Amino acid sequence: MDRSSLLQLIQEQQLDPENTGFIGADTFAGLVHSHELPLDPAKLDMLVALAQSNERGQVCYQELVDLISSKRSSSFKRAIANGQRSLPRDGLLDEPGLGVYKRFVRYVAYEILPCEVDRRWYFYRHRSCPPPVFMASVTLTQIIVFLCYGARLNKWVLQTYHPEYMKSPLVYHPGHRARAWRFLTYMFMHAGLEQLGFNALLQLMIGVPLEMVHGLLRISLLYLAGVLAGSLTVSITDMRAPVVGGSGGVYALCSAHLANVVMNWAGMRCPYKLLRMVLALVCMSSEVGRAVWLRFSPPLPSSGPQPSFMAHLAGAVVGVSMGLTILRSYEERLQDQCGWWVVLLAYGTFLLFAIFWNIFAYDLLGAHIPPPP
């Protein structure tokens, strides 16, 4: 049932003859059943929750239209939250007879979303097309690039110590700052099998479910923002170092998800969440520690500085700020939220500062950068 047919039906039935802006929930539910109109269970639950949030058991006309049109503003979500507190319902875990894919969708809902009504909304609205192609494509490309360079250099661990590695047109190197594409394409190169394995695992375990729930545009924006912030931060704080690996984007996704779990701890229903939180923090901290060790205490002789670890930290900052804003705005318009514009302003200010820094600071400070390969 689309919005136009809903409007026509309401006008024909005169559900709001006095033009009060409110419609009785029982009246509308009876209309749905009498005309056999399709309305999925999640929206029926929300219709009851909206009525529960109103003293007279009525639904605001605009909220009803938003519900049918699958639009969820902040006020709409607050009304749902107020109504669902007294709304008894079974959880998705009690849904019987689900196939393998729908069970996976249910698993994703419980992994990512902190609210039962959001989980039901996602479960009933989810469609398998389009699939989460962004994270899968990025991971596949990184694996292909690594295999190509591994075969070419005949080296699979600590590839950055090979003299030919830094000649790649994808690697960010401070001597090639004018080649702006390198600030992003370095995410396809990795120092070795250990870094690629760690990043690919997190991209598939966390990135794919996040993309399934929040969509390609939001998750790709978050990932690429972390990647770009990583290389720009290195160009400011570790001016002599190159950068490789997708850790900026990976840490943006992971830190956003972990922060969202912590802030909605009571509502999250993923199993063993405390243990998994500890393990994730230990693994992420160990990867940062390994990067610090390789940067300042290289185990092998090298012709220049090793890749910086600052991209990891920059990605985490992007995740806690921009990422958390995105994840807390499930099915809401980001442009309607003041916090989103504050985050964008802060990120844009950082980008402008980093651009001017890369243009002028290296010469003004007399930075001694290694010669480009």
Q: Give the tokens for residue 359.
A: 């243009």
Strand partners, 23: 59
Classify burial at 232, counting beta carbons within 10 Å of its beta carbon; exposed 0-12, middle 13-18, buried 19 or more. Answer: buried
| The residue type at 222 | L
232 contacts 198 by C-beta, under 8 angstroms: no
Interior CA angle at 67 toward 258 and 24, to 5°? 130
Among 168, 231, 247, 329, the active-site one is 247
Quote the DSSP letter at residue 132.
-
Three-class secondary structure of residue 172 per DSSP: strand
Q: How far apart are CA 66 and CA 149, in angstroms?
A: 51
Tokens of 87: 């709304």
5 is catalytic: no
Pick from 97, 111, 71: which is nearest to 277 by CA? 111
Does the annotation mark 247 as catalytic?
A: yes
Which segments within 2-101 are labelled E, that is strand? 22-24, 58-60
Distances (CA, A) of 243 to 174, 188, 290, 315: 9, 11, 14, 13
Q: Which position among 168, 312, 321, 329 bears the catalytic label?
A: 312
- Catalytic residue ranges: 247, 312
